Structures are given as C-alpha cells and as structure tokens.
Amino acid sequence: MSVLLCEMKMFALRKICNHTVTTIFTRGLANARSQNNNNNDPLANVPRSPFLKIKPRREACQRETKDPREVFAKPLLTPDVSETEYALRHNDYRRTFDRKDLGRKPRKQIELPPTKFDVKEWPENYTVKPLKTVRTGGRHPITGRVVYRRIGGGVYRDHLWIDINRNYIPEDRTIEEKVMEVREDPNRSGFVALIGHEDHQHWIIATENMKVGQIIKSSRAVGRMSIRAYEGDTYAVGALPIGTVVSSLELIEGHGCRVARAAGCCATILKKEDASVVIQLPSKLQVRVSSKCLATVGRVSNPQWIKIPWGTAGATRDRGIRPKSGLWHRKDGYCGRKIHPAKPLRNYLIPTEPKLLEFAFQPLKRANGLLK
C-alpha cells in the first residue's frame, strides 16, 4: 500500500512540473510573437499548444519550388564543346520520370550502319595490308549508347581495305589490270580480289567467275556507241549496253560503289536517257544515276553463301551476333505477306542535303528550347 502511495505522489509531482514548464514556454512563445511582427516568420502560423505538439502548416514545410527546366541547364564540361554537341551527348541522361521516350521503339539509324567490327586505326594512305579491328558491341561511336541489341562479342578479324572509289582509273583511255589473288574475306559475304596495275595494288570485290591471272579492263570514258565488256571489267554505266548485269555500282559520281556488293547480288541496266541511266537494284527499286558512274560487269561472287548453314549457336556468337530475346513477342503482322505498290523512281541526279544523324532516343523538346 505504501508503494502505491509513493507512485501516486511521484506521478502528481511529475504532472505539476510538466504543466509549469509548458505554461512558461507558452507565455514566452506568445511574447516572442508579439514582439516579432515579421510576416515571413514560419512560426507565425503555428497554433498554440499546451502539450508542445507543434504542428506547423503545410506551407511552412514545402520546399522551395524550382523550374523543372533548370535540370537541363548544366554548365558545359569544356569550353571547346558546343552547346548543340553537349545537348546531343547529355540529353538522354535524365531522370526516369522525365523521360518521355521510354517504352517506345528506337528509331533506325540513318548514317550509321550496324557494324560488328571497326578499324582500330586508319592509315593516312591506302594499303593492302590487313588492318586490326575492334568490336563495337552495337554502341554508338559518340554517345556510347547501345543502338543495336543484336551485336556483341565475336572473334577478332583483320579488315581488308576495299578500294571502292578507284580514283586511278582515267577518263580518256582504258587500262588493263591483272588479278593476283582471290580469297575469302571474313568481314563480308562475297570474295575479294587483289588486282595490280603498274606499281600499285588494290583490293576489289570479286565477281562470280573471276580467276587468278585474269586480265580486266577499266575506263571512265563514255562514247557514242556501247562497248563490249566482259565479266570483271569496270566501266561507266553509260558505256555499257542495255540489259547488262552489273555489281559494285556507284549511285553518285565519285562517291564510290554503294549498292550490289553482297554475295550473289547484281543490278540490271534498264534504259538510257540523255546523260542518265535507269538501273534496277537487287531490291527491285529503280534509280536514275549519272552515265559516268562506275560499275563492274557481272554479279558478286559466292552466290551460295545464303544456303550455307551456320551450325551451332556458338558459331553465331563468333560472328558477333547476339541471340534474340526469349520473351514472348506478339505477332503484329510485320512479317506477313503483303502486296505493296511499286516504289517510285529515285533520282540521284538531284542534289539533296544530307540528313542529320538520328539517335535511338530523341531529346525532349523543352530541352532543345534551352539550347539555341
């Protein structure tokens, strides 16, 4: 009984002390409010509480509001980097809830083909020696972001520099060249040939029946009459007769061969006009090019390459190709059979401005508005 009385006395004494301290603090707080007439005081809106449970209003606890565009207004790393280049490099590194492009299919690259290997160091002058390569991993050379998911790994292969321009071919006469070697190229489907003329050698894409020791002719001259060309010869398309099967075709004069370079591919000369020639490409697309564009007679070698089985999954990885995702993909009709109208004739005689390089993920519009 005495223990219970002692506990009750202690509880009453503690209550009296707490009430006294609370009263003193409340009176001091009221005096401080009366003396401070500043409206910016965050405690001005705090209600009085005898139990010291101060609950400030929400306005007093809110953070300072900032313009969301300030997230993108970052200082440049170095003074030699322009604002446009900085935006292209860093606009994709944003907060997740600010990304408006997540969940969308990446756009295709325009000026960047999907290459598995890249030359480690290009020499200043042309050479026929094998060049060392590095693996790209499907990443963009500037941003370092993965733009091709199905590229990665692979065995290192030496690169043979193909002379696609062949600037040594004259316009006023015909030269003869000798085929010195025909071999496989691990970086392309068709075979390559080493040709020699005078004191220099060049690698070219070999045609189907090209053999070692064969003499081929090359010229840029376009006469009034069509010439009789044989397989492996390189002439301007304006000098070849209608119906000739060609490969390694130039679309723009002096820009080098761009189409019909894979194994078994070829293009056909359909008709000639004043200073242009209409050619049907392997994709059945018809193009109009200048009559001075170079082309090699015959189709590309190794036409049975498409029928060779690759074997195992490891052989595919050795070629630098990653497997597809094992997730379920909806059949959206993309690969179904369709009937499309013929594509219109594409004219390469009309000069066009080069398109800008499109990245897989485009920056936000509001970010572009800050960088003028």
Provide the pLDDT for residue 279: 96
What tens digit of pLDDT does each residue of 168-196 get?
A: 999 889 999 999 999 999 889 999 999 99
Q: Is residue 20 part of a domain?
A: yes
Provide the pLDDT for residue 25: 46
Looking at the fold, whether 97 and 31 belong to one and the same domain comes out as no
Rounded Cα–Cα distance for residues 324 and 317 (Å): 12
Looking at the fold, whether 206 and 88 belong to one and the same domain comes out as no
Provide the pLDDT for residue 371: 34
Q: Is residue 277 part of a domain?
A: yes
Indicate the pTM of the whole model. 0.64
Provide the pLDDT for residue 253: 92
Q: Report how far apart, in Å, the C-alpha atoms of 211 and of each of 98, 175, 191, 192 are.
A: 60, 18, 11, 11
Structural domain of residue 81, as residue ranges?
68-101
Q: Is residue 329 part of a domain?
A: no
Q: Name 35's Cβ contacts closer than 8 Å, sequence gap at least 6.
A: none
Looking at the fold, whether 92 and 12 belong to one and the same domain comes out as no
Looking at the fold, whether 186 and 252 belong to one and the same domain comes out as yes
151 DSSP assignment? B
Determine contact, residues 170/163, Cβ cutoff 8 Å: no
Q: Bridge-partner residues for 84, per DSSP?
A: none
Q: Is residue 135 part of a domain?
A: no
Low-confidence ranges of the chain (pLDDT < 50): 3, 21, 24-25, 29, 32, 37-39, 41-43, 46, 48-66, 68-81, 88-111, 357-372
Provide the pLDDT for residue 37: 46
Among 212, 210, 280, 288, which Cα is nearest to 251's?
A: 288
Q: Is residue 288 part of a domain?
A: yes
Residue type, 342: A
Looking at the fold, whether 223 and 186 belong to one and the same domain comes out as yes
290 DSSP assignment? E
Looking at the fold, whether 180 and 86 belong to one and the same domain comes out as no
CATH code: domain of residue 234: 2.30.30.30
* Structural domains of the chain, count: 3
Looking at the fold, whether 32 and 94 belong to one and the same domain comes out as no
